[in-house]
Structure 1
């Protein structure tokens, strides 16, 4: 291992801040030839979770497209990672049952990549780590040449994210926010109106407003914007 790689990995192993650790990881794999690096950690699973950390440099709008189209429930990469910590390389065959998702990945330049999962022994936290690029397929030699680095980085990010998610749960319990209230605040933070949140969550606009008012009361704030800001501050969203 050359000195630069050794230095970066040592920095990553000592880093306590999740955002900084992600930036170190992104820089490391940019220098390994990958344009994109993504890390997501969940309390639960990607298609059914009560807490989430999401860090990536994917093209603008990708996260919203993915969530709004409910791709977590039919993504074959997630299906694989739910069952195995072994990495999975992306290709057309893997996405045979999700052609719309595959076409969009290609359109966005997320064509060549791989994903691997990290599972807690206790099953509370679940993480996905992905590397991708626009050009040049990933051959086996390159894949295994980077696999050890990816495993190290993903486990370090997983440890930091698990700590953050655990703190979020403690804050949620302190303020007694329900999973549905958190969902409403999360979509409100995306700039969605009560009507739009209702359509996304299959709720009436009146019910969405009820949840917003409940959040305001529990968080001791006077409006929706303040509720979103405080929820973000305590890492609930």
Structure 2
């Protein structure tokens, strides 16, 4: 078994393709008793990133559920990893202030796991590496027995992901005029074009003109998407 581990780690150290490296890591830890393996890399911290890479074999629908419920905003694992590279074990106490997230993790079979972050002072990139399984608690002996392998794997994946993120062109800055920003801000409050017009002393036609300009600049197809994207890039 030790020879097999050594061979897999050697293969990983030589691999230059992120997807292939992730599969090597996933297979390695599957053989260590972890059904699920996840790696995510960000240009900036989660919730404030311009682009990201997300690789995992979590149950179908988990990523969508996590995003729809906005769990990243109150995920204690993410909060810990934003500040520290020390690994953190998942347990009920850790999730005491996010009971709904803990409940959903359990429903999906993601009950027993741990996560560690990679903070790279030489680049703006940040990564999270997680291992999880449905049954059997992770005791201290098992945790530290796998910690060295996990650190090596996470740093290798982080290095490959950083190269990939660095090759992604920076998003073009979107310049909205002060009036367009005002229109979108009131639209975000749920105001109709007619109501926005009365507030800003504009005709409804002029309000719609500004909305259409915003949609074009933000490359979206409707007002709701324009408001959402403007908020995402902190334009409003």
Residue segments in structure 2 that go unaligned for 5+ positions in a row = 175-183, 191-207, 222-236
> Which residue is 2:19 aligned to?
19
> Which residue is 2:170 aligned to?
172
Q: SS at the partner of 1:23?
A: helix
d(CA) in 1 for partners of 2:30 and 2:189?
42
Q: How does 1:201-216 map to 2 (within 5 A)?
A: 213-214=216-217
Instruction: Please report the RMSD computed on the Cα atoms of aligned residues, expressed in angstroms.
Output: 2.8
Write out per-residue CA displacement over residues 177-199 of structure 1, whole angstroms, 9 at most, x where no aligned residue.
65xxxxxxxxxxxxxxxxxxx9x
> Which residue is 1:63 aligned to?
63
> Which residue is 2:46 aligned to?
46
Cα deviation for residue 122 of structure 1 reads 3.6
> Which residue is 1:7 aligned to?
7
Residue segments in structure 1 that go unaligned for 5+ positions in a row = 179-197, 218-222, 224-237
Aligned CA distance change for structure 1 residues 203 and 8 (closer, same or farther; 3 Å): farther
d(CA) in 2 for partners of 1:7 and 1:62?
32
Write out per-residue CA displacement over residues 65-100 of structure 1, whole angstroms, 9 at most, x where no aligned residue.
111111111000111111110000000000000000
> Which residue is 1:128 aligned to?
128
Task: Report the TM-score when normalising by structure 2.
Answer: 0.75
Q: SS at the partner of 1:152?
A: helix
Cα deviation for residue 3 of structure 1 reads 1.1
Task: Report the TM-score when normalising by structure 1.
Answer: 0.74
Which structure is larger by alpha-carbon Rg, 1 or 2?
Answer: 2
d(CA) in 1 for partners of 2:148 and 2:211?
46
Aligned CA distance change for structure 1 residues 209 and 11 (closer, same or farther; 3 Å): farther
The 4+ residue runs of structure 1 with deviation greater than 2 A are 206-217
d(CA) in 2 for partners of 1:30 and 1:47?
29
Write out per-residue CA displacement over residues 89-141 of structure 1, whole angstroms, 9 at most, x where no aligned residue.
00000000000000000000000000000001145111000000000000111
d(CA) in 1 for partners of 2:57 and 2:212?
33
d(CA) in 1 for partners of 2:74 and 2:122?
25
Cα deviation for residue 215 of structure 1 reads 6.7
> Which residue is 1:151 aligned to?
151
d(CA) in 2 for partners of 1:156 and 1:149?
11
Is 1:31 the counterpart of 2:40? The answer is no
